[in-house]
Amino acid sequence: MLRDKVALVTGGGGDIGRAIAEALARESCQVAICGRSPGTLLKTVRTIKNNGGSVLAIKADVSEREDVKEMIKKILKEWGRIDILVNNAGTISFSPVIDLPEHEWNQVINVNLTGTFLCSKYAAREMIKQGKGGVIINISSRGGKVGLKEAAPYSASKFGIIGFTQSLALELIPNRIRVNAICPGRIEGKMAQADIVATAKAEDLPKLAAEKKYAEPIPIGRLGLTSEVANLVIFLCSEKASYIVGESINITGGIDLVRGGQ
């Protein structure tokens, strides 16, 4: 279905990024991954290579224009084109707005929103030159549709990604480049564990009790799996999703069906 496509997954060393990169490799894509710390990419690289896949790890800060331009050049040098971009790199900061340092606001906005803009800009230029269409998927968040308490820069950036996705989709669809966003809810991994630890500390709960409380608002009764997010990416990259353009698709286990679910 996606055999021999060239895909770039930013933040490819994180929990969701790793799952997406590995899923694309299983679909016989040639996969580039990037991150600010090369060491975080090693697990993804090993897994893909051990399964016979093709992977290129690149040190890059997606919030830096020159890093992004150089990253795209490396991918073109290695494989000659780029067909799929998954803007997954992201960061978060927890603080009430009145106490939030400006540098933390700037960091979150720069990585999450500006990084999505820069990678889309330079990848889309190449997709247009190639003349064979393409796919861009932006990883937003449930926090891009519902403001999250004490995570204002994160929610602001993720709301911004949804608006950016819609605008970019309108611009690029004449070139047969489909742009969509995915909005994960509470997904297994380091971010969820950080939330659980914070809940345990704030409410003086044992970790198991905090884990149970964290999952309680989710109607499906559990955290989402990174593989479930990756499966949605694969679908959106495929021709089976050829009529889906400019959407922001929730993958939240139904949490937003519950009033006030936080």
Structure confidence by residue, pLDDT tens digits, 224-240 = 999 999 999 999 999 99
Burial of residue 245 (number of CB atoms within 10 Å: 0-12, 13-18, 19+):
middle
- Mean pLDDT, residues 171-193 taken together: 95
- The string of DSSP letters for 74-115 reads HHHHHHS---EEEE-------B-GGG--HHHHHHHHIIIIIH
> Of residues 112 and 149, which shows the higher confidence score?
112
Q: Is the pLDDT of residue 1 over 80?
A: no
Cβ pair 6, 79 in contact under 8 A: yes
| 122 is a catalytic site residue | no
Query: In the structure encoding, which two tokens stand for residue 145, read together?
Result: 């549709």
- Mean pLDDT, residues 41-66 taken together: 97
Q: Comparing C-alpha atoms, which of 179, 86, 165, 201 is closest to residue 133? A: 179
CA 135 to the chain's CA centroid: 14
- Average pLDDT of the chain is 95
Residue in this structure with the two tokens 């050829």, named with its chain if needed: 242
Pairing verdict, β 30-35 and 54-59 = parallel
Q: Is the pLDDT of residue 174 over 60?
A: yes
pLDDT at 197: 85
pLDDT tens figures, 188-217: 998 888 888 878 887 888 888 888 888 999
Q: Comparing C-alpha atoms, which of 72, 148, 153 is closest to residue 111? A: 153
The domain 6-186+225-257 having CATH identifier 3.10.580.10: the answer here is: no
| Coil/strand/helix, residue 250 | strand
pLDDT at 260: 52
Q: Where are the domains of the chain?
A: 6-186+225-257, 189-223
Rounded distance between C-alpha atoms, residue 45 and residue 53, angstroms: 9
- Mean pLDDT, residues 38-67 taken together: 97
Helical packing angle, 15-26 and 226-237, nearest 10°: 50
3-state helix, strand, coil in the chain (%, to 5): 55, 15, 30
Rounded distance between C-alpha atoms, residue 242 and residue 249, angstroms: 15
pLDDT tens figures, 86-137: 999 999 988 999 999 999 999 999 999 999 999 999 999 999 999 999 999 9
Query: In the structure encoding, which two tokens stand for residue 235, read together?
Result: 């679908």
